[in-house]
């Protein structure tokens, strides 16, 4: 059952703006929707940076006035500018006065209490943001990836929050696949009120002001419509529309994204409607850390193609009996299907697994030193679940995923990476991810994502080492050959992992990869063997020391000519 949403759910807002040299150029904007004495639109030529700052100030002014009027508004705010440092790295700074950290949000009540300099013209917003130097380039994809990380951290454990809102000011059309993939991934982050909401306001020379829902956008901006939030129709006003405007904006759009909320009860997908994943292509592969024995592999995975569910878990090397803990998490999720979005139900489920884990490790028979480590440290694991639902009237299937830590989901359509969860780049894997712990006293705080997939779409679940390498490959022009993971000989795959490790092109860690294809598309002609239909897998799928061939039998004895990711000369993101 869904947790009851709070009366006034918390929210977060990010305004993101480039600080590139091109932001000093003039554009024609309809600033604040002012009118001339004759009632005409007062369109002016202004530097993009001035218009961008006015936009942010106008929005914060409206929020501060709402707070001052006594309305409860638990909202965290960040206004960030981005540019490129001399070494080519991202420079991300806070534009809120006085100098806030770019790595944190400022609560609205704190922000509203700060002094703000008034502007000279009546009705104009106060100056809530700092001026910043505009020079060089501004890497939009890298900046949005950092915002994704900031928003995902804020959203962890907050399924009952309002959807995060990101308003990205751009100084040119953004249509490179890397940016669009991160934007789609941001839109997958989900709360009980729906997905995160990304809005775009562009500033472009030679373009007349175009407000979303009223004026047609230049064709060069169409790609952003596909990754921007859809705003609802206004009563006697604009129709439902993609949140992309050029040289114009309305505070009402951001207001709609922040405050138009409708709680979406979770659907139960337990009832079957035929296979949801193609059984013939469902597959899992694993390899222990180079230099270790198979018995020392501490990941786990489990799949049930018929009901459309899969799990990957990665045991933490600092714990004890982590393989058993990861195995228990993976297996029991398939059986129990706990509601990851309900914190009470989730923590009750995890607590029950703690007792089962202690029984599985025969705690009473352990020596004193092992008992001490079980009591003091215990086991821990990252966790990633994927559930695919029944077909809807449009021929698509809804899906949802939950993550604790950095095991990663890759969503692929037509051979191209569509989105990822819960990280969006190779540099977002840290040494201290969130974990589900076997010892009492720890809350489990998941992050959630949701979308709608089509027959033939692929999902790949990967623990952190494999996921980081996949991100590096995805940065290449062609990216990984995702279909190949369904047929590659598993021994050859492990050999490729070892080659990448020796070349320091991949972290030497336990590896697990699960690949699944959404049922309903015509089968492709493939070579090699398949897993047995209806099987489930976990850390106990094979016994330590065996050949592990039962995980993925293959009659393909010819070694592949390329690795399972992409050309090993690919450079990381």
Phi, psi for residue 339 in degrees, rounded to 5: -80, 105
Question: Is 444 within 8 Å of 404 (Cβ atoms)?
Answer: yes
Together in a domain, 177 and 300: no
Angle among Cα 348, 350, 355 to the nearest 5 degrees reads 100
Together in a domain, 120 and 206: yes
Other beta carbons within 10 Å of 75: 23
Q: Token pair of 98, please? A: 């006085």
331 phi-psi bin (left φ>0, alpha ψ -120 to 50, beta other): alpha
Together in a domain, 239 and 311: no
pLDDT at 542: 34
In a domain, 142, yes or no: yes
Burial status of residue 199 (CB atoms within 10 A of its CB: 0-12, 13-18, 19 or more): buried
On average, the pLDDT of the chain sits at 88
pLDDT at 269: 86
d(CA 253, CA 304): 42
Together in a domain, 299 and 403: yes
d(CA 436, CA 442): 8
Together in a domain, 380 and 453: yes
Distance of CA 326 to the CA centre of its chain: 22
d(CA 489, CA 343): 41
Q: What is the DSSP string of 304-321?
A: EGGGTEEEEEEE-TTSSS
Together in a domain, 228 and 310: no
Q: What is the CA radius of gyration of the chain?
A: 25
d(CA 116, CA 135): 26
User: β-pairing, 106-107 with 165-170?
Assistant: unpaired
In a domain, 571, yes or no: no
Together in a domain, 406 and 534: yes
Together in a domain, 293 and 236: no
HSE value, Cβ hemisphere, 13 Å, CA-based, for 376: 7
Helices (H), 173-281: 177-186, 222-225, 251-259
Using the structure block, give the residue that is written with the tokens 């995160």: 196
Q: Token pair of 448, please? A: 């959630």
Question: Is 389 within 8 Å of 267 (Cβ atoms)?
Answer: yes
Q: Token pair of 318, please? A: 């600092």
Strand partners, 401: 386, 449
In a domain, 265, yes or no: no
In a domain, 3, yes or no: no
Domain end: 195, 226, 259, which one? 259
Question: Is 148 within 8 Å of 184 (Cβ atoms)?
Answer: no
Q: Which residues are CB-contacts of 450 (< 8 A; sequence separation ≥ 6)?
A: 188, 190, 195, 398, 399, 400, 401
Q: What are the residue ranges in the chain where pLDDT is below 70?
A: 1-6, 98-100, 477, 521-573
Number of domains forming the structure of the chain = 2
In a domain, 121, yes or no: yes
**Strand ranges (E), 20-123:** 26-35, 41-47, 75-84, 90-94, 106-107
Which residue range forms the structural domain that includes residue 85? 11-259
H-helix or E-strand spanning residue 466: helix 464-474
Distance of CA 489 to the CA centre of its chain: 30
Phi, psi for residue 405 in degrees, rounded to 5: 100, -155
Q: Token pair of 541, please? A: 């799928």
Q: Token pair of 506, please? A: 């991949």
Strand partners, 309: 304, 387
Strand partners, 514: 284, 461
Phi, psi for residue 30 in degrees, rounded to 5: -100, 90
Domain end: 226, 259, 292, which one? 259
User: β-pairing, 416-421 with 408-413?
Assistant: antiparallel
Using the structure block, give the residue that is written with the tokens 């501490």: 298
H-helix or E-strand spanning residue 417: strand 416-421
- CB burial readout 314-337, b (16+ within 10 A) else e: bbbeebbbbbbbbbbbbbbbbeeb
520 phi-psi bin (left φ>0, alpha ψ -120 to 50, beta other): left
In a domain, 559, yes or no: no
Together in a domain, 387 and 447: yes
d(CA 308, CA 280): 13
Strand partners, 67: none
In a domain, 567, yes or no: no
In a domain, 108, yes or no: yes
Burial status of residue 272 (CB atoms within 10 A of its CB: 0-12, 13-18, 19 or more): exposed
Question: What CATH code is carried by the domain that includes residue 357?
Answer: 3.60.40.10
pLDDT at 266: 82
């Amino acid at each position: 059952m869904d947790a009851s949403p709070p009366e006034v759910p918390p929210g977060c807002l990010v305004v993101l703006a480039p600080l590139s040299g091109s932001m000093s150029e003039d554009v024609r904007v309809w600033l604040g929707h002012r009118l001339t004495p004759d009632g005409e639109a007062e369109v002016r030529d202004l530097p993009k940076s001035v218009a961008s700052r006015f936009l942010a100030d106008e929005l914060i002014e409206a929020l501060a006035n709402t707070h001052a009027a006594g309305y409860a508004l638990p909202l965290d705010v960040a206004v960030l500018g981005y540019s490129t440092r001399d070494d080519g790295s991202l420079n991300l700074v806070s534009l809120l006065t006085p100098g806030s950290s770019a790595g944190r949000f400022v609560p609205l009540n704190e922000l509203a209490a700060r002094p703000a300099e008034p502007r000279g013209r009546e009705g104009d917003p106060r100056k809530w943001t700092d001026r910043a130097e505009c020079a060089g380039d501004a890497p939009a994809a890298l900046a949005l990836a950092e915002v994704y990380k900031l928003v995902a951290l804020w959203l962890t454990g907050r399924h009952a929050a309002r959807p995060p809102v990101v308003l990205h000011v751009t100084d040119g059309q953004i249509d490179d696949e890397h940016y669009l993939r991160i934007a789609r991934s941001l839109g997958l982050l989900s709360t009980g009120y729906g997905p995160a909401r990304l809005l775009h306001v562009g500033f472009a020379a030679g373009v007349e002001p175009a407000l979303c829902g009223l004026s047609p956008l230049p064709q060069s901006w169409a790609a952003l419509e596909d990754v921007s939030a859809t705003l609802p129709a206004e009563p006697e006003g604009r129709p439902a529309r993609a949140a992309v405007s050029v040289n114009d904006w309305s505070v009402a759009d951001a207001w709609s994204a922040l405050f138009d909320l409708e709680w979406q009860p979770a659907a139960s997908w337990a009832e079957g409607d035929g296979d949801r994943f193609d059984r013939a292509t469902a597959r899992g592969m694993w390899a222990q850390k180079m230099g270790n024995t198979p018995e020392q592999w501490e990941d786990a995975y489990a799949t049930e193609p018929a009901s459309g569910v899969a799990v990957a878990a990665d045991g933490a090397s600092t714990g004890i009996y982590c393989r058993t803990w990861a195995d228990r998490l993976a297996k029991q999720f398939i059986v129990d299907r706990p509601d990851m979005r309900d914190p009470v139900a989730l923590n009750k489920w995890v607590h029950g697994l703690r007792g089962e884990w202690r029984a599985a490790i025969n705690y009473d028979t352990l020596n004193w030193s092992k008992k001490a480590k079980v009591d003091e440290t215990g086991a821990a694991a990252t966790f990633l679940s994927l559930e695919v639902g029944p077909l809807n009237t449009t021929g698509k299937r809804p899906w949802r995923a939950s993550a604790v830590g950095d095991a990663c989901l890759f969503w692929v359509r037509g051979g191209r990476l569509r989105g990822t969860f819960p990280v969006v780049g190779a540099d977002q894997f840290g040494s201290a991810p969130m974990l589900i712990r076997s010892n009492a006293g720890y809350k489990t705080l998941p992050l959630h994502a949701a979308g709608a997939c089509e027959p033939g779409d692929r999902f790949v679940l990967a623990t952190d080492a494999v996921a980081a390498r996949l991100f590096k490959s995805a940065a290449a022009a062609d990216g990984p050959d995702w279909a190949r993971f369904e047929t590659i000989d598993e021994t050859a795959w492990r050999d490729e992992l070892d080659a990448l490790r020796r070349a320091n092109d991949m972290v030497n860690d336990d590896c697990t990869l699960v690949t699944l294809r959404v049922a309903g598309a015509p089968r492709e002609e493939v070579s090699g063997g398949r897993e047995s239909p209806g099987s489930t897998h976990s850390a106990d799928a094979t016994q330590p020391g065996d050949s592990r061939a039962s995980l993925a039998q293959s009659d393909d004895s010819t070694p592949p000519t390329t690795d399972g990711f992409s050309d090993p000369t690919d450079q990381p993101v």
